[in-house]
Amino acid sequence: MTLIGKIFTVLIFIMSLLFMGFSITVYQTHVDLQTAAREVTERNDNLEGVRTTLENEKIAVEASLKRERIARAYALAALETQVEAIAADLADKEEIVKTTQVRSNDLSDALRIAEATKKQLTDEVESLRKDINDAQQRTDIFFAQILTLTDEVNHLKSLQSLAQQREKQLTNEIGRAHSTLQANGLDPFTDTYDKPPELDGRVIAIQKDLLQISLGQDDGLRVGHQLDVYRGALYLGRVKIRETQPSSAVCEILPEYQKGQIRKDDNVITSLN
């Protein structure tokens, strides 16, 4: 065999392999046309159902959209009505604001006038308060003076009453003294320096012819006065004062008048005769 024959043989072998591969590929890709037709028919039926469903959904969506458009129209009309009402209310409120502003300006003017009046009244009140305080102080001083004068008047009335009582007492004492003077043969011009006042005391100590008695200078006794000594109803004698002290006195016994022994605690009596 020649070289060309070998080459053709190899090419034929290669081509045989290629055709065998094509055959296998065609076999593997072979489809049953009847089955494919059925599948296409079923797919078309499915697509028709989907189309019907989509058309129904489209109709529903269009109806819903129509209803929504109608609802939006009604809502828009309602909103327009509300906007008109709000605009009218806003206009009313603006008018109210203007009226309120005018009223506020009037009130501001009235407030300024009221503040000025208040300041004036405050000043007047302060002045009146000061006048009232001054008047109250003067009234307090006057009342204190009245109380002082009232106390003084009451005190003077009390002194007057005491003076009247004292006057009556002195009148009675003067009357009794005048009667006593007349009974003793004396008159208001008689010198009684050497006569002791009417007293009643006792002997507190005795030594020989001297004794000490419980009456003294504060009782009106003077040196030279004479007193009588008794023990009950018994007359014991007479003593003469030689020395006086505020609450006691030293006496000597006069022998010519002695009628008995003088002892401590004997009574000492003075008289105007």
Does the pLDDT at position 273 exceed 50?
no
Query: In three state form, how does the secondary structure of the chain look?
Result: CCHHHHHHHHHHHHHHHHHHHHHHHHHHCCCCHHHHHHHHHHHHHHHHHHHHHHHHHHHHHHHHHHHHHHHHHHHHHHHHHHHHHHHHHHHHHHHHHHHHHHHHHHHHHHHHHHHHHHHHHHHHHHHHHHHHHHHHHHHHHHHHHHHHHHHHHHHHHHHHHHHHHHHHHHHHHHHHHHHHHHHCCCCCCCCCCCCCCCCEEEEEEEECCEEEECCCHHHCCCCCCEEEEEECCEEEEEEEEEEECCCCEEEEECHHHCCCCCCCCCEEECCCC
**Span 98-147, pLDDT tens digits:** 888 888 888 888 888 988 888 889 888 888 888 888 888 888 897 888 88
The pLDDT value given to residue 29: 64
Instruction: Give me the mean pLDDT over the 188-196 stretch.
Output: 53
Note the pTM of the prediction, 2 decimals: 0.32
**Span 14-58, pLDDT tens digits:** 888 888 877 787 666 655 556 666 776 777 777 777 788 888 888
Domains contained in the chain, CATH given? 193-269 (2.40.10.340)
> Of the given ranges (178-192, 194-208, 213-227), which has the lowest mean pLDDT?
178-192
The pLDDT value given to residue 28: 65
The pLDDT value given to residue 195: 54
Does the pLDDT at position 193 exceed 80?
no
